[in-house]
């Protein structure tokens, strides 16, 4: 079975999305830039699962140093993860993907950013204790 992990950044109140993007997208602040750089570094060399929209927003260079796997609601998580046995698999979101894969995630890497603005997508703490 794959070593399944999640990586995400959340705002001060659990914000994770706004209008299909990260609420802090493009913020040049040191903490925000460091978070993006760390995301690239941590996922390098591993498998990354995310919804098609999230995958489409990633920079092109990411396809060369990690395995990008877009997943859909019709995919069975057990079958997707079975394709990557003995690999580290990062579940990178969005919310529907975390909802489907939460019970398989053994490690959550969550970075809380100094963002406290609007959002239309929120991190759900119950994902942390979901069981399969």
Q: DSSP readout, 38-69?
A: HHHHHHTTSEEEE-HHHHHTS-GGGGTSSEEE
pLDDT of residue 39: 96
* 131 has a pLDDT exceeding 90: no
Q: The domain at 3-129 falls in which architecture?
A: 3-Layer(aba) Sandwich (3.40)
Domains of the chain, by residue range, sit at 3-129
Q: Which residues fall within 8 angstroms of residue 24, CB to CB, at 6 or more apart? A: 11, 32, 113, 115, 117
Tens digit of pLDDT for each residue in 20-70? 899 999 999 999 999 999 999 999 999 999 999 999 989 999 999 999 999
pTM, two decimal places? 0.93
32 C-beta neighbours (distance < 10 Å), count = 18
């Amino acid at each position: 079975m794959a070593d399944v992990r999640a990586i995400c950044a959340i705002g001060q109140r659990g914000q994770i999305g706004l209008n299909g993007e990260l609420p802090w997208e493009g913020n040049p602040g040191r903490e925000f830039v460091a978070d993006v750089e760390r995301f690239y570094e941590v996922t390098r060399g591993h498998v990354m699962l995310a919804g098609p929209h999230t995958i489409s927003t990633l920079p092109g260079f990411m396809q060369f140093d990690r395995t990008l796997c877009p997943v859909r609601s019709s995919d069975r998580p057990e079958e997707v993860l079975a394709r990557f046995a003995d690999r580290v698999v990062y579940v990178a979101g969005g919310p529907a993907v975390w909802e489907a894969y939460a019970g398989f995630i053994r490690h959550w890497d969550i970075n809380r950013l100094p963002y406290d603005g609007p959002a239309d997508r929120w991190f759900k703490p119950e994902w942390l204790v979901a069981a399969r």
